[in-house]
């Protein structure tokens, strides 16, 4: 890639994209040109082009691509919090992956990246939360949003439940508020409430959004790189954690991914055992059960993998004995399935926080591949169910998220028959 320009932030003006362009209902944050049909979506997209001339007046301006050949000349931006670099890319025949960081969700800056199939919104100022994963073919955001709480910057040490806006959060190094040794760790850990630094590398054929933070208590440097490539309905998160001290650190790390739900959804996990969190034992007669069937207090067999928003309860399960590092969330009504793949050697269990109206009236399924359980870090340490970072050591792992479409289901066909009165 040939560098075109380097400048510090503030000397280059990135074209502004109105907030309405990245609303949940918007098909794309890029304007379409109906006169150009070279791309798979039958549209061209405005790119960024370096305008030469007087250095004082150098700036980026929008321009339209002219057919597939125009992609060869597309300039792309790398935005870092403190500098911007412009590079060329070449991806003829595919829509270039795009990004923008000019809008906000709530009072948080939103970094949006998208290709032909997916649009992601990340909030670096709120723990690098992934707030949207939109499947562009259907226009559906698979992530749940709290209808009563908008994203906003929160003080370190806040109570998670009281400010949680939904989406995908990074939880480290604990879940419940915990005292380990002489340290007091806040509710849901250190990472989710901090402002993370971010940088964006755009090569046209892919965008890599890197967020980084240093936790104030642990102390650990966490880096997450989200890579979205052209032509793929998936993205990959690469994680690196570095212990900045000479002492071993025991920790829990999990992704806290809240899904939109309806009565047609199910959760597929190749596993042997489910464990009911003791705080929710009042609902079940078994503390441990063969996944996914657990017996209720009334003696009824309950399939935990089948989502039932009408139950008006809330439960937490730890799913263990995984044969593969994969979870599939199937939404038959909307014809989508979301698959999370992870390293089973490092994330060896999956938490399921199933809120079916019994927690503050909310309905969502939070799926959480995790390194550790149960919820209390001190207990996980005693039981040997946690991970550790040796002094000055490193921990690396990857998570892949993919969205696919499923054929019309029996659920859909049954609904149609009901509506028609058959």
Q: Same domain, yes or no, for 208 and 293?
A: no
Strand partners, 356: 313, 363
Q: Same domain, yes or no, for 405 and 296?
A: yes
Q: Is residue 238 part of a domain?
A: no
Residue appearing with tokens 């990959």: 236
**Residue 341: which residues within 8 A CB-CB, separation 6 or more?**
325, 326, 399, 400, 402
Q: Same domain, yes or no, for 292 and 201?
A: no
Q: Is residue 387 part of a domain?
A: no
Strand positions, DSSP E, 195-305: 197-202, 206-214, 220-229, 234-243, 249-251, 254-259, 265-268, 273-276, 288-290, 293-295, 301-303
Q: Mark the ranges of the chain whose per-residue pLDDT is less than 70.
A: 1-93, 408-422
**For 288-337, what is each residue's pLDDT tens digit?**
999 999 999 999 999 999 999 999 999 999 999 999 999 999 999 999 99
156, 187, 212 — which closes off a domain?
Answer: 212
List the Cα angle 174/375/355 in 5-degree steps.
115
CA 321 – CA 46 distance, rounded (Å): 49
Q: Same domain, yes or no, for 273 and 198?
A: no
Q: Same domain, yes or no, for 73 and 130?
A: yes
Q: Is residue 248 part of a domain?
A: no
State both tokens at 45: 């997209």
CA 386 – CA 370 distance, rounded (Å): 9
Q: Same domain, yes or no, for 205 and 269?
A: no
Q: Is residue 316 part of a domain?
A: yes
Q: Which domain holds residue 25?
A: 3-212
Q: Is residue 377 part of a domain?
A: no
Strand positions, DSSP E, 298-422: 301-303, 313-320, 326-331, 336-342, 349-359, 362-370, 387-389, 394-405
181, 212, 243 — which closes off a domain?
Answer: 212
Q: Is residue 219 part of a domain?
A: no
Q: String of b and e for 261-283 (b: at least 16 CB within 10 Å)?
A: beebbbbebebeebbbbeebeeb
Q: Is residue 380 part of a domain?
A: no
Residue appearing with tokens 């739900």: 261
State both tokens at 413: 């066909």
Q: Same domain, yes or no, for 133 and 185?
A: yes
Strand positions, DSSP E, 115-174: 118-123, 129-135, 140-141, 168-171
pLDDT for res 375 = 96
Number of domains in the chain: 2
pLDDT for res 352 = 98
Q: Same domain, yes or no, for 329 and 414?
A: yes
Q: Same domain, yes or no, for 135 and 283?
A: no
Q: Is residue 10 part of a domain?
A: yes
Q: Same domain, yes or no, for 139 and 280?
A: no
Q: Same domain, yes or no, for 275 and 159?
A: no
What number of other Cβ atoms are within 10 A of residue 286's Cβ? 16
pLDDT for res 408 = 54
Question: Can you give 34-89 as a three-state secondary structure string?
Answer: CCCCCCCCCCEEEEEEEECCCHHHCEEEEEECCCHHHHHHCEEEEEECCEEEEEEC
Distances (CA, A) of 409 to 20, 336, 363, 369, 406: 33, 11, 23, 27, 8
Q: Same domain, yes or no, for 86 and 188?
A: yes
212, 245, 277 — which closes off a domain?
Answer: 212
The answer to whether 64 and 74 have CB atoms below 8 angstroms apart is no
**For 234-290, what is each residue's pLDDT tens digit?**
999 999 999 999 999 999 999 999 999 999 999 999 999 999 999 999 999 999 999
């Amino acid at each position: 890639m040939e560098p075109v320009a380097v400048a510090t932030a503030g000397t280059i003006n990135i074209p502004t994209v109105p907030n309405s362009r990245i609303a949940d209902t918007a098909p794309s944050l890029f304007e379409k040109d109906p006169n150009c049909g070279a791309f798979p979506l039958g549209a061209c997209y405005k790119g960024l082009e370096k305008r030469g001339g007087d250095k004082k007046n150098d700036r980026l301006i929008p321009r339209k691509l002219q057919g597939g050949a125009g992609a060869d000349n597309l300039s792309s931006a790398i935005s870092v919090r403190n500098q911007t670099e412009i590079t060329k890319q070449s991806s003829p025949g595919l829509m270039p992956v795009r990004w923008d960081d000019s809008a906000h969700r709530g009072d948080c800056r939103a970094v949006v990246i998208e290709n032909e199939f997916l649009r992601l919104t990340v909030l670096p100022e709120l723990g690098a939360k992934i707030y949207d994963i939109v499947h562009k073919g259907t226009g559906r955001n698979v992530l749940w949003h709290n209808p009563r709480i908008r994203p906003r910057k929160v003080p370190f040490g806040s109570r998670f439940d009281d400010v949680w806006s939904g989406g995908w959060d990074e939880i480290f190094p604990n879940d419940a508020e915990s005292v380990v040794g002489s340290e007091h760790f806040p509710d849901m850990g250190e990472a989710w409430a901090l402002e993370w630094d971010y940088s964006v590398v755009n090569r046209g054929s892919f965008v890599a959004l890197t967020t980084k933070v240093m936790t104030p208590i642990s102390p650990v440097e966490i880096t997450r790189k989200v890579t979205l490539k052209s032509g793929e309905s998936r993205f990959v998160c690469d994680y690196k954690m570095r212990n900045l001290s000479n002492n071993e650190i025991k920790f829990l790390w999990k992704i806290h991914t809240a899904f939109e739900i309806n009565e047609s959804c199910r959760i597929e996990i190749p596993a042997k055992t489910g464990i009911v969190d003791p705080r929710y034992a009042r609902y079940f007669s078994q503390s441990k059960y063969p996944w996914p069937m657990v017996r209720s207090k009334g003696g009824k067999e309950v399939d935990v993998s089948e989502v039932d928003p009408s139950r008006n309860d809330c439960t937490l399960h730890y799913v263990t004995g995984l044969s593969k590092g994969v979870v599939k969330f199937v939404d038959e009504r909307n014809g989508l399935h979301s698959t999370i793949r992870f390293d089973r050697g490092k994330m060896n269990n999956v938490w399921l926080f199933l809120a079916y109206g019994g927690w503050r009236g909310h309905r969502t399924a939070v799926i959480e591949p995790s390194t550790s359980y149960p919820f209390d870090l001190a207990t996980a340490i005693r039981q040997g169910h946690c991970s550790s970072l040796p002094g000055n050591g490193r921990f690396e792992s990857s998570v892949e998220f993919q969205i696919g479409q499923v054929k019309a289901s029996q659920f859909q066909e049954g609904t149609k028959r009901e509506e028609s009165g058959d």
